[in-house]
C-alpha cells in the first residue's frame, strides 16, 4: 500500500468547506471525484485542516492510500488538475510518505493568514478574498491586543459551540501583523486551533483596533472564557490556510 501526500491550493468561496457534507459541495468531495476519474478507483483523502465555508488555502495538505504506485507524478498532476480547474482547486504537488503518515495528526505547525483591506472604497479585485473594513484601524492597538493572545492559554472565548476539540488550551506563537498600503496581514501559528478560533480572534482585534473596545474590554472578554463575550467573528473570505509544517 502506498501513502501519498497532496499539496493543494483553493478558493473556498463557492464551497461549504473542506470536509464532506450533505448540504453542498466540499473541497474534499471535489478532489475525491477527480481522483476517482484519474485513478479509476474510489479514494478517501484525509485533510490536514478542516477549513470552514468560504475559507481559502494557499497550502492545504491531504493524504490518501493507494494499492498501486503512481509512476509519473507530472502526468498525474496535469490529469487531476484538468478535472479541478473549473472549481478553482489546484493540486500543486504530490509525494510519497511513510505508511504511518497522517496529514492531520502528523502536522507540527499550522499558519493561518488573515487579510483586511482598510479603506473607504468597496472591493472589486479582492472581493471574497479579504475583509473590507472602512473604519480606521489603529495598528498599534491591534498589535498590543495580539500580544495578549500569545502563549499557552485557555481560548474558550474564541471557540465555536460546535467545536469538538478535547481541550480549549492552545499555544499561539508570536502573532505577526504587517500593513502594506491599505492591506493588513495577520499571521497566526499554532500546532492546532479550535473551530472558528482564528476568525474570532481577528474579530476581537478589530473591535479593539477600531475603538469599539478598550484594552480593558478586550482582556475582560478573553479572560471570561465565555463565547457570548466574543466580538462577531471576522468573515471567512479573509482567511487563508497559509502553511503547514511537518
- The helix (run of H) or strand (run of E) holding residue 27 is helix 27-39
Q: How far apart are CA 201 and CA 223, in angstroms?
A: 13
Strand ranges, E, within 44-175: 46-47, 56-66, 89-97, 109-118, 131-133, 151-154, 169-172
Alpha-carbon span 242 to 189, nearest angstrom: 10
Spatial contact of 66 and 49, defined as CB atoms under 8 Å apart = no
How many angstroms separate the CA atoms of 133 and 121, rounded? 10
The Cα–Cα gap between 190 and 172 comes to 5
Number of C-alpha atoms within 13 angstroms, CB side, residue 161?
A: 3
Per DSSP, 121 falls in state S
Catalytic residue among 11, 29, 52, 154: 52
- Cα separation, 12 vs 145, in Å, equals 28
CB neighbourhood size of 76 (10 A): 18
Query: Is 52 a residue of the active site?
Result: yes
Helix, strand, coil percentages, rounded to 5, for the chain = 30, 30, 40
Backbone angles phi, psi at 193, to 5 degrees: -130, 155
Catalytic residues: 52
Amino acid at each position: 500500500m502506498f501513502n501519498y501526500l497532496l499539496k493543494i491550493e483553493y478558493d473556498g468561496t463557492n464551497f461549504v468547506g473542506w470536509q464532506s457534507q450533505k448540504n453542498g459541495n466540499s473541497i474534499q468531495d471535489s478532489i475525491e471525484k477527480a481522483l476517482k476519474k484519474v485513478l479509476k478507483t474510489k479514494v478517501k483523502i484525509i485533510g490536514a485542516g478542516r477549513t470552514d465555508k468560504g475559507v481559502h488555502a494557499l497550502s492545504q495538505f491531504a493524504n490518501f492510500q493507494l494499492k498501486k504506485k503512481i509512476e509519473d507524478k507530472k502526468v498525474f498532476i496535469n490529469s487531476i488538475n484538468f478535472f479541478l480547474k473549473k472549481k478553482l482547486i489546484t493540486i500543486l504537488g504530490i509525494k510519497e510518505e511513510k505508511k504511518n503518515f497522517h496529514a492531520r495528526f502528523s502536522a507540527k505547525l499550522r499558519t493561518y493568514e488573515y487579510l483586511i483591506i482598510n479603506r473607504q472604497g468597496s472591493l472589486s479585485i479582492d472581493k471574497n478574498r479579504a475583509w473590507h473594513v472602512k473604519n480606521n484601524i489603529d495598528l498599534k492597538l491591534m498589535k498590543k491586543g495580539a500580544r495578549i493572545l500569545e502563549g499557552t492559554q485557555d481560548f474558550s472565548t474564541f471557540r465555536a459551540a460546535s467545536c469538538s476539540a478535547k481541550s480549549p488550551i492552545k499555544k499561539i506563537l508570536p502573532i505577526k501583523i504587517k500593513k502594506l498600503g491599505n492591506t493588513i496581514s495577520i499571521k497566526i501559528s499554532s500546532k492546532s486551533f479550535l473551530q472558528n478560533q482564528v476568525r474570532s480572534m481577528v474579530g476581537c482585534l478589530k473591535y479593539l483596533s477600531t475603538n469599539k473596545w478598550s484594552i480593558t474590554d478586550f482582556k475582560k472578554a478573553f479572560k471570561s472564557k465565555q463565547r457570548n463575550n466574543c466580538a462577531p467573528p471576522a468573515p471567512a473570505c479573509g482567511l487563508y490556510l497559509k502553511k503547514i509544517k511537518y
